[in-house]
Structure 1
Amino acid sequence: MKFALSLLLFGFAITYHANAQSQKSLDSLENVFKASDDDKEKLKISGDLCWSYGSVNFDKALFYGREELQLAQKLKDSVSVALAYSDIGNTYTRVNNLKEALVYHLKSYTLRDKLGLKAKAAGSISNISVIYKQMGNYKEALVYMHRSLKIYEDAGDEVKQALVLGNIGNLYIDYKKYDAAKETLDRTISLAKKTNSTSTLANAYSGLMNYYFHQNKLDQALQHGVMSANLLKQLNKQSDLAVLYNSIGQVYYEKNKYPEAMKYYNNSLDIRLFMKDKLGIASCYKNIGACYAELKDLVKAEKYIKDAIALFKEINAKDYLIEANEMLAGVYETKNDFIGSLKAYKESIEMKDSVYNKQSSDKINEMQIAYQTEKKIQQIALLNKENKIQKLVLFKRNIFLGVIAGLLVITLLLSYLFYNRYKLKQEARLQLEVISQQDLATKAVLNAEENERKRISGELHDGLGQMFSAVKMNLSALTESLNFKDEHSKEMFGKTMNLVDESCKEVRVISHQMAPNVLLKSGLAAAIRDFISKIDSRKLKINLETVGLQERLDQNIETVLYRVIQETVNNVIKHSGANSLDIQLNKDEDGINAMIEDNGRGFDATHLDKFEGIGLKNIRSRVNFLKGNVGFSSRPGSGTLVAIFIPF
């Protein structure tokens, strides 16, 4: 059976509130809310109730979240309106209603950004990143997480840094970058302990459980899962406990300890039933059914899996339906119920192409109707003789006409579908051809530019460079035969020789920079190391970090990135006044990321057009040639970050 150990991170990555309160405290707050006539007091209480009930009671959390929003709008308090949007988004996230959650968190972020609330906006960014992660959009999730982390690092907020780092660590696991995940989660634990952030610590332990699960170190996974569960119990975070219990159950399932697994699945189910989390309830049913199947209790296995399928159908969770139907087919096969097994398997196939299967189902129904009709006709023919035969002939004719009409309609429909498909294929083929021509044009421009650089480099080296060398040689030969009038003349001649020597060196350096041999021979990483090794580290210390560049990249990508980094470093030296520069190159399956960050004087990136000279335009045009994107993040006194992404 296919399992994906995915722990809910949302409860740890959201805007700070007090820890979940006891039911007695919540009842007391509700009484105060009902008795109060002060809208400002009711606004604060409704927000606290929405947050606190978010982990234990979805209906009440949503009710108080909407009350909070109405009160904030009534008071025309934009800051509180943004907070209410965020609280409602949090409530929807805890029951896996991700579409609604994303809508409210985007509203919260837009308003906070408009109001200039950078720290609060960073919290919304963090929430959005977690939702994208849960939706499987890992690329967008990682972008939002790093934006949030940068804001918290600039603000020196270690509590929030730990929150975001925990989410990044778990996202690295989804990317299968396990070493980076372990390092990030260890850093999260250190910061969480330093700042006494219990929620963040619980998140980090659950992340390590996920990490050890993927490393097949199941005992260590259980150890960290129990550590996380103990902390979540202290915080009374029921929705997060539900997900964690389900994950611990999966670990026991992998250890073939099915009774222990079912114990945790049932604990998770109890919470999710109370929270009305339909996706979570169905997932628990499916997992419990899988355990009963392994224990050969096929009756209970069938019941739970069928209950799961019913809920998955209700919420249209097609991916889960495919897996659940395949699981049900396996149960039927074990029972030697091959008809049931075939039916369940067919239902899993139907999820993959609903339109095709609908047409197939309609045809089967038509054939069954025709068969039953024919059977009845034969019975009528046997029971009724001459008088009923005439009615039978008429009935057959009507059926024939109906079938002909039906076939005509189906033929027209299929013709339209085939024509539409052909049209779409033609449009797609044309689009591919346009993209292909654009790619060829891009490569031609880059090749032409690089060839021109090589030609100029050769001219400088073989032409002007040789002439300077000849001048130097001739002047050196004249030294012995010249009689200088005085020391001043001799000194001027020496300075002239030095200038000629410096000119030779300068021509050689320019020639090598225009066409670096090390880039052609050894690749991008070696070429950049060679380039920065020639820069005086006493004036500018450069740190270079590369990941995934063991193999050579496409020549155009290597050339563009080398030129862009060369131009950026030169800009730092000329304009920033920095004494430290970090360069990171990270290659993954989607493309290559380049991050260049200095600690110089910076500039106002919101008015980039005022600073955009030839150098920045060259950087943009080169990256755009390869369909990549480049971003600049800077503010006066805080250095500059240049982020580049080039897709494969």
Structure 2
Amino acid sequence: MKKGLLATLLFAFSLCCFSQDNSKIIDSLKHIIFNKPSDSIKIKAFSDLCWYYRNVSTDSALNYGDKALQLSKNTMNLSGEAQAYNDIGIIHYGLADYDSAIKSYQKALDIRFKLKDSLGVAALYNKIGLVHQNTFKMDSALFYATKALRVYEDKNRPRYVALIKNNIANIYKGLKQYDKALHLHLDMARVNENNKDFLALTKSYNNIANAYLFLNDTVKSVDFYQKSIDLAETYNYKRELAALYNNYGNVLLGQKQYDKAVDLNTRSLKLREELKDNFGVSSTSLHLAGLYLNLKDLPKAKGYLYSGMRLAESFDGNELKLDAYDKMSSYYAYQLKPDSVIYYKELFKALKDTIFSKQVIKEVAEVQEKYNTAEREKKILSQRADIAEKELDINKKNTQLLGLVLAIILLSSLAYLIYYQQQLKNKRLKKESELKEALVKIETQNRLQEQRLNISRDLHDNIGAQLTFVISSIENLQYGFKIKDYKVTEKLKRISDFTRETIHELRDTIWAMNKNDITLEDLQIRISNFVKKANAYSEKTKFEFRVEEGLKSDIKFSSVTGMSIYRVIQEATNNAFKYAEAKKVSVKINQVSTGILVNIEDDGKGFDTELVIKGNGLNNMRKRAEIIEADFKIESEANKGTRVILAVSL
């Protein structure tokens, strides 16, 4: 039990300490897995290993992502499965393997929809939009970014609203709507300044600098680049620094400060290679190639050109491929090789035409669909007119002969239709009412579960850590100051033992709070662990736990009922051990017609139930039984042992 508690504490600690070295976090996560924790904790550990390995070893990252995915599928953990697909998609995105990234994101999105996790859905919309942005599909990028923005605005998440608006502004930049992009970036910079969100502010300054550059205001552009670089260097934002060195290097290229431009782009390339950012490596390589073309250093230009172009072709980065083909034609023009110049010029033109053609085809298809819809509606109206005319002729010919019969049929039909429609309306209203009630219940349960999880995390992270600190402090006092006074030593030992017991009690409470319901199997495991611990603690008293054969292990209790049963067993067992001087304590769970029957018996010295003063222990057991509406009874005689009976209805 101690090992399990330490593993859980280490897991929570490892998730919070982002500032420490990744290798230490990775080692601590592997240690958690080595201790064989519960499946849910193991899934979280695998998922975190996937995340922390992404900048160390992509193979290892994908391996742990697959482990998290398989374990989630095997244990029907939909939340873990969605997170695993999300993490795997991020790894593929970093490798610029955009097809694989989209597939993983889409699978995660489908599960998030099933879980009704609106914030998770919004995050995936944003990621899918970024993939489309990197492949220069700006209409799709804007579509997904806007969907993400609506969710974050509805959920009142201002930080994420700011991030999405930054992305939308970058999409406007890709669509060459630079005024719109600048306006959004300036607004977001003010929000980030007020919130003191320095990472977001670094990105905003970079985006503002880019927008001013496209609007030909180089002075303001350089000013914001420098502000952004200062922030990124202060807080060691490597990914942002890589982009900033690259962007500012291009400005220096335009100012013909080639040496400084080469230095910044070289630093950018090194960072992007370290981050395994294939898209960024391709972009910066092509920028360096352009710089060396300007410096007439053709061998270096060729090396960067080919590496940048091949990488762009590997992940189908259309915008980068256009840049590569354009620079290749310039390179071969310097080499006086017209055939190669023509070859790359044609590649450039063909790709540009393809991008344009796809857009035109899409727009034509949309127009054609609108036209087809209009034609179909016209045809339907014409057919309806013909049918109406024919029916009118028939009615005129048969009015005199069948007027009375038709009137009766029409009246009867009308009455039936009115009755039938009313019945349908009543059913629909009833179903809508039931659905609303169900949705309200589900929403209430979700809020309660979220509150329970938040409280349990606070208990675990704050109170648990503080109690552990108390134990450590007492041990330090005992061994550091070499206290010899027996009374002081015993007092410190009692405080330490009490604190340890409190930690175990806290862990039991957190266990119950984290569950909507508790199965009999869960309860059986918990009681078995408690009995094992009691046997290990006491040499004089033997503890025994039995469950009736054939008792269904999937019987479910509410978290309150399950915890109350466990606490009654725990209290009764402790009383037998501490006060009754029992040599044997047995716990039995049997099934009865109305539910289950729990018996806790001991062979201790017993007591007179009429004369004994009911202390906190007996009162606590009675109160717990009253809370869950269970029958509670204590049978005891002096020197004949004690029997505690708890009958719980299902």
TM-score by length of 2: 0.48
Larger RCO: 1 or 2 (CA < 8 Å, sep 6+)? 1
- What is the TM-score with the length of structure 1 in the denominator? 0.48
